[in-house]
Amino acid sequence: MTAHASIASNKRRSALFIAIFVVFVVGIGFVWDQIEGGGTIVLPLAGIFALLSALTGYFAGDRMALAANHAISVKKEESLELHRLVENLAITAGLPMPRLYIIPSPAINAFATGRDPQHASIAVTTGALEKLGRTELEGILAHELSHIQNYDIRLMTVVAIFVGTIILLSDWFFRSRLFGGRGRDRDRNLHPAIAIGGLLLLLLSPLFAQLIQLAISRRREYLADASGVLLTRYAEGLARALEKIRAENLPVASANSATAHLYFSNPLSGMKARSFFATHPPIEDRIAALRKM
């Protein structure tokens, strides 16, 4: 897929995921309303919540993702080398300078987020800054700038916010119906349909969230690797960075399942590299592809 085709596809898919999310939340509200006997305030509240969440995810999803991963804004004078590297790469790519953040973590990792190149941010772990050589760090930064250039960031940020919201909503639905409202008879004697529905929602929502993340094609990482190499003209730098990540195999403590797909490499522990639910391609395959360039 060409860069222009990828950008157009990402814009379409972002709009599609927003629509799916709104329909999903409104559908939950409709089912709940029917369980309650119909004509309740639940359905209009679900519609309002869905629209507000969609707007929040689109316009503020990057700030939420950064906050969730404990990213700290870094000024130019606080990390001059990092700013110079990103600035040079951004000029080469013809992109605006993104805002820069640092994640306090010994793991080597990074991610980009935002709704477009004009509202983009890159977060880098302290481990990446301390353990990588210049060309290795440059390779990772070029990879993240490629995500910005290809509009991957919009799609991945929208998905991150919606996945987290779906998981929280399902958990709230189940807990509120199972444990809430002690003063009412129907809550003390929970209707079996509500109990089963809430339990299924609680159990299936994480799976649903994982399937959404899998829709963010793993080929996107290969494309960002290739595009990053076009910026640096040095595939070995990125390959060596991946080798260091593979050797250390350290998780990012602040990462979670909703934002894992944003990262340069899988930030969670216990995820098998070739698992069906892995959000990234195996590191060995990425290294092999880079060394064939």
Residues 198 and 146 in one domain: no
Which residue among 144, 221, 236, 243 is the active-site one? 144
Residue at which a domain ends, from 196, 215, 234: 215
Answer whether 248's CB lies under 8 Å from 108's CB. yes
Q: pLDDT tens digits for 137-194?
A: 999 999 999 999 989 888 888 877 777 777 776 666 666 655 555 444 444 455 566 6
**190 or 127: which carries more pLDDT confidence?**
127
Residues 233 and 146 in one domain: yes
Q: pLDDT tens digits for 59-78?
A: 988 999 999 999 999 999 99
Q: Active-site residue 77, yes or no?
A: no
Predicted TM-score (pTM) of this structure: 0.81
Render the burial of 267-293: b for 16+ CB within 10 Å, e for the rest: beeeeeeeeeebbbbbbeebbebbeee
Domain count of the chain? 2
Look at strands 99-103 and 72-73 and give their pairing.
antiparallel
Residues 147 and 158 in one domain: no
Residues 275 and 137 in one domain: yes
Residues 55 and 17 in one domain: yes
Q: pLDDT tens digits for 27-39?
A: 777 777 766 666 7
CATH number for 257: 3.30.2010.10
Handedness of CA 217, 251, 258, 160 (dihedral sign): negative
- Rounded-to-integer distance, Cα 114 and Cα 65, Å: 9
Structural domain containing residue 43: 3-67+154-215
